[in-house]
Amino acid sequence: MHFSMVHTNFNVFDLDKSLAFYSEALGLTQSRRKVAKDGSFIIVFLKDDKHLCELELTWMRDRETPYDLGDKEYHIAFVTDDYDGALKKHRDMGVVCYENTDMGIYFIEDPDGYWVEVLPG
């Protein structure tokens, strides 16, 4: 028996802001979108150009406040073939929230407060 991871979900408060962030920061593009018939939610799947796994962003129409992410003791991770260039880009965007130079990694924070780890390839 074999399992393959296909997506991770983040609920987002401002879908347009999140889509712009993931496009600019990580180059993710929309692969598909589902809109509830009654408009109560929108689900957008984002992907990179090489892998099966997607990031699912879920927006709920009736959500009135940003999500409480607790202690933020979780994250997703991306590997890059240009670590120094990515770090510079993310610093210029003002989204680097933590760097661990001893481990050679850093984290960026999306508009909802989710952390994304960036690793050298």
pLDDT value, residue 4: 81
Contact 84, 118 (CB under 8 A): no
Average pLDDT over residues 80-96: 97
Query: Is it the case that residue 27 has pLDDT exceeding 90?
Result: yes
pLDDT score of 121 more than 80 = yes
Cα gap 9→57, rounded to integer Å: 6
* pLDDT value of residue 50: 87
Instruction: Classify 72 in phi/psi space as left (phi over 0), alpha (psi -120 to 50) or beta.
Output: left
Q: Where are the domains of the chain?
A: 7-61+75-120
93-120 residue pLDDT tens:
999 999 999 999 999 999 999 999 999 9
What's residue 52's pLDDT? 80
What pLDDT sits at residue 83? Answer: 96
- Which pLDDT does position 109 carry in this prediction? 97
Instruction: Give the CATH class of 7-61+75-120.
Output: alpha beta
- Per DSSP, the residues of 92-114 read HHT-EEEEETTTTEEEEE-TTS-
Q: What is the pLDDT of residues 43-78, one digit of tens each?
A: 999 999 888 899 999 999 999 999 999 888 889 999
